[in-house]
Homo-oligomer: A and B are copies of this chain.
Amino acid sequence: MSLLIVGTVAFDGLETPFGVREKILGGSALYGSLSAALYTDDVQLVSVVGGDFLASDIQLMADKGINVDGLEVIADQKTFFWKGKYHTDMNSRDTIETQLNVLENFVPKVPESAKSCDIVLLCNLVPAIQMMALKAMNKPSLVVLDTMNLWIDNTLEDLLAILREVDVLTINDEEARLLSGEHNLVKAAEGIKAMGPSVLIIKKGEHGALLFGPEGRIFFAPALPLADVVDPTGAGDCFAGGFVGHLAQTNDFSFDNMKRALMEAATMGSIAVEAFGPERIFEVTHEEVRARRALFTDLAQVN
């Protein structure tokens, strides 16, 4: 199946207890598409960068099998920049700087070739822009959306509007509580599913991820206990990319297959955090992904 990924391509400044990167490739769509491209060779990207973005970096993405026809370059503006600093336990971070730049007036341009994609992953982005991208498409079979607390706090009406169009929502535990007004995650999931999504993924970081499906079905994918988490940036996007990548590869939207997709998502999330920014995702091989996935089988399966 064909897969479209809409989101940001960015420069990030990162600081974690393991070190500092002043300027490194980033953005939700970059992470998401790199991750998904490890599962399927029909991945298109819709995003925007500025004149400061290197053609060689676009080529790097194309070399990974990502169709970059939908990556708009606005020559007289700068690429979106985000700078963040992680605390010692890696579970929380501060935003040090945000320069929206090209994102300020971003209107996603979905190429003709991408309009009929079967699956769309709308990565974390202003909900109104996510809606524009979705409306430019020919009713994809599966709409997967990621969001964050910023949009729950500031553009709730727009978020609720797109949630009505969404099949699968991915959100973290604190955001699920914020969006639903329920502390208990089972009740939060019920509340959020009433807003539109038939399937909900609640990400709990180092505590794994819950998949809430139809008829009260629940599945849980653990996080791999890691001795060293170098940089969590992009882990959620790689997680989402692994999820949709597996679905595109297998052409099966059943709950049982979404369980498998969640294990692939957890696999990609665990790989993403092992190096700074997208460094690990750029270099990881299919064999390494399969070996990591096997660790999850050991971790979670009982004979």
Residues of A at the B interface (CB closer than 8 Å) are: 88-89, 183-187, 204, 207-208, 210, 217-220, 222, 225-228, 256, 259-260, 263, 297-303
- Taking A302-B259, A303-B256 as contacts, is the C-beta distance between A187 and B219 under 8 angstroms? no
Asked if residues A89 and B183 are in contact (CB atoms below 8 Å), the reply is yes
Distance between A208 CB and nearest chain B CB, rounded to angstroms: 7
Asked if residues A207 and B210 are in contact (CB atoms below 8 Å), the reply is no
Among all A-B residue pairs, the 5 with the closest Cβ atoms: A207-B207, A220-B222, A186-B227, A186-B225, A220-B299
Nearest CB to that of A263 among chain B residues?
Answer: B302
Asked if residues A299 and B219 are in contact (CB atoms below 8 Å), the reply is yes
Nearest CB to that of A262 among chain B residues?
Answer: B302
Starting from the known contacts A218-B298, A219-B300, 10 additional A-B residue pairs (CB-CB under 8 Å) come to A185-B225, A186-B227, A204-B207, A208-B222, A218-B225, A219-B299, A220-B222, A222-B222, A263-B302, A301-B301
Write out the residue numbers on chain B whose beta carbons fall within 8 Å of the beta carbon of A222.
Answer: 208, 220, 222
Write out the residue numbers on chain B whose beta carbons fall within 8 Å of the beta carbon of A185.
Answer: 225
Q: Can you list 6 A-B pairs, Cβ within 8 angstroms, ordered by A? A: A184-B227, A187-B227, A208-B208, A297-B302, A301-B301, A301-B302
Write out the residue numbers on chain B whose beta carbons fall within 8 Å of the beta carbon of A88.
Answer: 183
Write out the residue numbers on chain B whose beta carbons fall within 8 Å of the beta carbon of A303.
Answer: 256, 259-260
- Taking A207-B208, A220-B299 as contacts, is the C-beta distance between A226 and B186 under 8 angstroms? yes
Nearest CB to that of A224 among chain B residues?
Answer: B218
Asked if residues B218 and A302 are in contact (CB atoms below 8 Å), the reply is no
Distance between A289 CB and nearest chain B CB, rounded to angstroms: 16
Asked if residues A220 and B89 are in contact (CB atoms below 8 Å), the reply is no
Distance between A177 CB and nearest chain B CB, rounded to angstroms: 10
Distance between A245 CB and nearest chain B CB, rounded to angstroms: 16
Write out the residue numbers on chain B whose beta carbons fall within 8 Å of the beta carbon of A218.
Answer: 225, 298-299
Q: How far is the CA of A235 from the CA of B197 in the complex (A)?
A: 34
Distance between A199 CB and nearest chain B CB, rounded to angstroms: 15
Q: How far is the CA of A184 from the CA of B303 in the complex (A)?
A: 28
Nearest CB to that of A186 among chain B residues?
Answer: B227
Nearest CB to that of A204 among chain B residues?
Answer: B207
Distance between A256 CB and nearest chain B CB, rounded to angstroms: 6
Asked if residues B225 and A298 are in contact (CB atoms below 8 Å), the reply is no
Distance between A142 CB and nearest chain B CB, rounded to angstroms: 20
Write out the residue numbers on chain B whose beta carbons fall within 8 Å of the beta carbon of A187.
Answer: 227
Nearest CB to that of A260 among chain B residues?
Answer: B302
Nearest CB to that of A303 among chain B residues?
Answer: B256
Q: How far is the CA of A210 from the CA of B183 in the complex (A)?
A: 24
Write out the residue numbers on chain B whose beta carbons fall within 8 Å of the beta carbon of A259.
Answer: 302-303
Nearest CB to that of A187 among chain B residues?
Answer: B227
